[in-house]
Copies of this chain bind each other. A is one copy, B any other.
Amino acid sequence: VSGDDLIRDERITAMGLLAEAFGGLSARFSAQLAEYDLAPVEFEVLIRLARSPQGQLRMTDLASQTGITTSGITRVIDRLDRDRLVCRSACPTDRRSSYAVITAAGRDRLDQVLPKHVELIDEWFTGRLSKEQLDAVLDGLRIVRDAVRPDAAAGAS
């Protein structure tokens, strides 16, 4: 094997490890969320809304937080609105904007899902590492996240 064999470069395998770990976890979460009639992106939106003041966020901010396009968010909110887990609300100060607001039914659904979901995270991710190991992983991930997603806090208060 020659020296320029980038195909087996350790940086490629590092990224592969990240992708496989994340993909494997996602698949399991996805299967569980489906039991509660939630797609992963819908669950993410509900979580972000529930964590926000008044349980609401602008469509644009949801888009930049989740990393999907504004048109994608429009359709996700369409579905959640149809299922009454979220509703739309006009912005009083800027008539171009609209808010997505989590409903009581949306919070109820989250309350149903969250215990089992957290259990699953623990079973396959956080619970498999020692406290020191987990902290080290999170410290590293935080550095990467902050670099790569500078806008991840859009709409935060």
Among the stretches A70-78, A80-88, A92-100, A124-132, the one at the interface with B is A124-132
A122 within 8 A of B: yes
B115 adjacent to A144 (CB under 8 Å): no
Partner of A149, one of B23, B67, B148: B23
User: With A7-B51, A118-B11, A136-B133 in contact, is A17–B124 under 8 Å at CB?
Assistant: no
A90 within 8 A of B: no
A33 within 8 A of B: no
A15 adjacent to B121 (CB under 8 Å): yes
Partner of A24, one of B9, B110, B149: B149
A36 within 8 A of B: no
Minimal Cβ-Cβ distance residue in B for A40:
B19
Chain A: residues with CB nearer than 8 A to chain B?
6-12, 14-15, 17-29, 47, 50-51, 67, 110, 114-115, 117-118, 121-122, 124-126, 128-129, 133-134, 136-145, 147-149, 152
